[in-house]
Amino acid sequence: MTATVRIPTPLRGYAGGAAEFEVGGHTVGEALAQLTTRHPALRAHLYAEDGSLRNFVSAYLNDEDVRHLKGPATPVREGDTITIVPSIAGGARDGGTPAGTVEAPERAEPSLMPGRRLAEGIAERAGAIELARDEVYRYSRHLIMPEVGLDGQRKLKAARVLLVGAGGLGSPLGLYLAAAGVGTLGIVDFDVVDETNLQRQVLHGTKDVGRAKLESARDRIRDVNPHVEVIPYQVRLTSENALEILEPYDVIVDGTDNFPTRYLVNDACVLLGKPNVYGSIFRFEGQLSVFYAKEGPCYRCLFREPPPPGLVPSCAEGGVLGVLPGIVGSLQALETIKLIVGGASPLIGRLLLFDGLAMRWRELKIRKNPECLVCGENPTVRGLIDYEEFCGVAVGQEVAEDEIPAITASELKTRLDRGDRVTIIDVREPHEWQIANLAPYGARLIPLGRLAERMHELDSANEIVLHCRSGVRSARALEQLRAAGFRRLWNLKGGILAWQEEVDPSLPRY
């Protein structure tokens, strides 16, 4: 049997850059085995040491998760499509530093119709709300739609929505929910506006560089719609404050860019019985769903555990097309409005995949996992835990500091100036090499995804310094070489960004 395996953007660097392959095999396991035989670097991303599929990667046969079929033994028919769906980090780490376990209130009983109880609850508050004359005119294009109408607009004004993040996804969310007339918008963010944000974070402008994102977002939203109340939370969202912050809101919208906060938001929403409108982005691909444990699956039902630290690149490492968060964030705003107004079909139990490069949409089913630790039949997670520890962030950082031999840019420059024989290997992608490189110092380019097949080009007797943009990918390359028997290895601390700061300010910074 011949099937098509679709490779997501984060993994294409380990598959020669291809988006899909035709493979043979009678089962999903045989097809994936053939794929990883062709591209061995993919194996570590798809399989655990015991040979099972990793829990942070889902394999779909057509639109069904194979874990709800027969797993790797699921039969494949001629022309079937196998889609690999990895968890996506989204951007630079902005997670909290939770400590201990925070207990949650009693879980709410499930409702009978998806989203209906939420809309009915908001409708009770909306009954006492009137629209001013200028609001009627402002929202007139909504009011003449029977799907919204006056009652729907009152629900929007009565609704309380919390945005977790005021960055790439939070920007279109804030603008469109405010424009739509959502009465109260809470925003959690503690970051400041950086010049690199402006390529996609349209809530902020050049004049806002250096300002707190919350200040910039508040001013822009008030300009869009002065009828909206903006409640800022300039704090890290942690297990100690999440339940208190999320509790007053009807809908939580996940605009996070890291795994600790994403699992924190998911668990808090499950414990509080609130819908979680999820979106994530990477390069030119996006994911979208509504996780509502009262009506269907939660995020942990799809990705039972996070990937190891550093395995999934962030937007800072991998990049993101500037318009992509606008597309995904706008769809999150749409799902939020549908939940508030009611009478529509939200993305509960469905995962929407968007490939902007191919301009292709794909919808996959997500089923509730009865063994889910937080929303399953016998949950063991009954309070908020330490999500940094759960995602291995703190542990991973300690290992990086204690076990990865590092050299600073200044130290490397000193050694090069005195004529030490050092091999410099750049593990970034070719397009990054074109932006800035250390070729004048003898650096060679071997992208991380091709390191396994080009390892023979390196002499283990030589002293090798590995570098990338900031030091994350090169640390993984060092571990890969060390496992292959190389010993004289160094990781350039801070990568080429540190070289630009400490040695050569004329290099472009990206």
Residue 185 identity:
L
Return all residues near 28 (Cβ < 8 A) that are at least 6 apart: 59, 61, 66, 71, 72, 73, 74, 76, 82
Burial class of 195 by CB neighbour count within 10 A (0 to 12, 13 to 18, 19+): exposed
How many other CB atoms are found less than 10 A from the CB of residue 36? 17
The tally of CA atoms less than 13 A away on the side-chain side of residue 74 is 20
Say which residue the tokens 């130290």 belong to.
Answer: 411
- Report d(CA 484, CA 10) in Å as an integer: 24
Does residue 74 contact residue 216 with C-beta atoms inside 8 Å? no
Return all residues near 400 (Cβ < 8 A) that are at least 6 apart: 310, 475
Task: Give the bridge partners for 351, in sequence order.
Answer: 364
Does residue 266 contact residue 298 with C-beta atoms inside 8 Å? yes
Residue 359 identity:
M
468 catalytic residue (yes or no): yes
Residue of 315, 372, 375, 391 marked active site:
315
- Report d(CA 264, CA 427) in Å as an integer: 32
- Report d(CA 68, CA 226) in Å as an integer: 48
100 Ramachandran zone, left/alpha/beta (phi>0; psi -120 to 50): left
Alpha-carbon radius of gyration of the chain: 24
Question: Is 282 in a helix, a strand, or coil?
Answer: strand
352 Ramachandran zone, left/alpha/beta (phi>0; psi -120 to 50): beta
Does residue 310 contact residue 472 with C-beta atoms inside 8 Å? yes
- Report d(CA 506, CA 509) in Å as an integer: 9
Does residue 256 contact residue 328 with C-beta atoms inside 8 Å? no
Identify how many contiguous H helices and E strands the chain contains and give both numbers: 21, 20
Return all residues near 42 (Cβ < 8 A) that are at least 6 apart: 11, 14, 15, 35, 36
301 catalytic residue (yes or no): no
Q: Which residues are catalytic?
A: 315, 468
